[in-house]
Structure 1
Amino acid sequence: MPKSKTNLWQVFKSVAASVLGVQSGANYKSDFEQPSFVPFVIVGVLFVLGLIGMLVLIVNLVL
């Protein structure tokens, strides 16, 4: 029986936890049981681009 789709906030929390390396095993398993991986990819790319943007901003402010 497939699990229900996760909402955007749950996807964001899951991606953030994975990027930071604090994702629990249960959440990790739950993520892979989702019917589509596309929301995770989109949020992951946006998260990484935001992180890069923040780092560039911080470096420009310091220099």
Structure 2
Amino acid sequence: MSDEPRSKHDSGHDERRPPTLWQSWMSVLAAFFGVQSSENRERDFTRGKASHFILLGVVATVLLVVLLVGLVKLATSVA
């Protein structure tokens, strides 16, 4: 057994892999609220694809609009 600390590469974590779908989704949601960490922003800009973030951003925007329209319809039907 070695006394050397294990690097991230040794633990199966590859620094060059693109962000997963979950990581990309969380980055888009963090961007909506403006709370993205600098570490995640760096990962997204260096390893992520812009097309993935654009697509997820459009999906998140559509979901937000549908949610708001539904809430307004609900509020006006109750009033």
If the length of structure 1 is used for normalisation, what is the TM-score?
0.88
SS of the residue corresponding to residue 16 of structure 1 reads helix
Asked if 1:47 corresponds to 2:42, the answer is no
Tell me the equivalent position of 1:25. Answer: 38
**Bigger relative contact order, structure 1 or 2, given CA contacts below 8 A and separation 6+?**
1
SS of the residue corresponding to residue 35 of structure 2 reads coil
Rate the CA distance shift 1:17–1:42 in 2: closer, same or farther, 3 A.
same
The one of 8, 18, 41 equivalent to 1:5 is: 18
Structure 1 unaligned spans of 5+: none
Query: What code does the residue aligned with 1:46 have?
Result: V
CA RMSD of aligned residues (A): 1.4
Give distance in 2, aligned partners of 1:36 and 1:20: 21
Give distance in 2, aligned partners of 1:46 and 1:3: 26
The number of aligned residues is 62
If the length of structure 2 is used for normalisation, what is the TM-score?
0.72
Structure with more helix by fraction: 1
Greater radius of gyration (CA) = 2
